[in-house]
Amino acid sequence: MRDTTRHTNLAELDVVDLSGLFDGDTAAVGRVAARLEAPARTLGAFHIVGHGISREELGRFERAMRVLFDLPIAEKQAMRRSRDNAWGWFDEELTKNRPDWKEIFDFGAERSEGEPTPAHSDGVNRWPKGQDEIRRELVAHYRRCERIARPLVRALCVALGLEAGALDHAMHDHSSFLRLNRYAACPEPAPADAPQFPERGHLGVHHHTDAGVLTLLYQDDVGGLQFERDGFFQLVTPISGALTVNLGDMFQVWSNDRFQSPVHRVLAPRERTRHSAPFFLNPAYDAVAEPLAPLLGPETPARYRPLPWAHFREQRSAGDFADYGAEIQISDYRIG
């Protein structure tokens, strides 16, 4: 990976309007796909509007997130994640085996108590006792993101010149989850032009790519997200009412590097606490990611060998929870 030590002020992300995408409008699918091709190819990130989540719904979701993080520490500790159950609250997250300046709360699809889970990177949801309204609002946002993400994948397939359902086989029982982040005001944040591993100060999240298919990010107005582009870390300005999307490693593999999974990180805020919530759309655990056959030819051979998602997710999650060795990357599966 390049040493991204330089910095410019802002990354002007494309804004893509998804209006009509969820109504079965074939013309809308083509229109959205045409708008997605360039940002997916050049950076792998863009803003979306017309996604169908109202500002009122986003406001209720953010309030629920803030209430959860404001609970007494004893109540949050009662929901603490473990190696055996990854869902819940945690304040010792690692990225690149280095501690991040944040606390998180993860949850996925609701499961019955005692129902087996396929990997330690999955889990049974933990919820604060006596806070049913929080649970309802958080689960509602998960479902809204799920409703957006699947049609967005289909539009991205069309942007690659494929049939819209080219990845449906990998999404039949997806392993997605929603993460809540709180970045408290930091007395010593790393500067915006800090190198990948700052010599001083803290980062909210160290540089990384997302492991799965794509990420839908809700963020408040504090800002701090940076994408790496052309050797620079560039700060993204949040757009009120929009969600920020970045593609994940599995999409880069399926596209045979035509679409990008961008390197990004989050600055620790100096004065105001920042809240954000990424929905990670992940494939089914039995999915195997490999370059899609219609994209291959004599001039465009496969750049990756088959990558089993369950193993990849297991190893990436282990590196996030604690230092269990090198963090797995799609480069480990690159051919040549």
What CATH code is carried by the domain that includes residue 217? 2.60.120.330
Q: Residue 73: inside a domain, yes or no?
A: yes
pLDDT at 319: 64
pLDDT at 325: 54
Q: Which amino acid is at 305?
A: R
User: Per-residue pLDDT averaged across 153-157, rounded?
Assistant: 98
Task: Give yes or no for residue 3 having a pLDDT over 60.
Answer: no
Assigned token pair, 304: 């990756």
Domain membership of residue 272 as a residue range: 6-333
- At residue 1 the predicted structure's pLDDT band, cuts being 50, 70 and 90, is very low
- At residue 112 the predicted structure's pLDDT band, cuts being 50, 70 and 90, is low
pLDDT at 336: 81
pLDDT at 2: 39
**How far apart, in whole angstroms, are the C-alpha atoms of residue 237 and residue 129?**
36
**CB contact at 8 A, 227 and 236:** yes
- At residue 113 the predicted structure's pLDDT band, cuts being 50, 70 and 90, is low
User: Per-residue pLDDT averaged across 113-129, rounded?
Assistant: 76
Q: Residue 1: inside a domain, yes or no?
A: no
User: Per-residue pLDDT averaged across 24-36, rounded?
Assistant: 94
Assigned token pair, 280: 């990670």
Q: Residue 318: inside a domain, yes or no?
A: yes
- At residue 12 the predicted structure's pLDDT band, cuts being 50, 70 and 90, is confident
pLDDT at 24: 79
Task: Give yes or no for residue 22 having a pLDDT over 70.
Answer: yes
Q: Residue 311: inside a domain, yes or no?
A: yes
**How far apart, in whole angstroms, are the C-alpha atoms of residue 243 and residue 266?**
16
Lowest mean pLDDT among 7-16, 183-192, 274-283: 7-16
Bigger pLDDT: 290 vs 83: 290
**How far apart, in whole angstroms, are the C-alpha atoms of residue 225 and residue 11?**
10
Q: Please provide the average confidence, as pLDDT, over all residues in the chain.
A: 92
The 10 Å Cβ neighbour count of residue 180 is: 24
What is the number of domains present in the chain? 1
Q: Residue 105: inside a domain, yes or no?
A: yes
Q: Residue 140: inside a domain, yes or no?
A: yes
Place of tokens 């504090």: 222
pLDDT at 25: 85
pLDDT at 301: 98
**How far apart, in whole angstroms, are the C-alpha atoms of residue 336 and residue 330?**
13
pLDDT at 265: 98
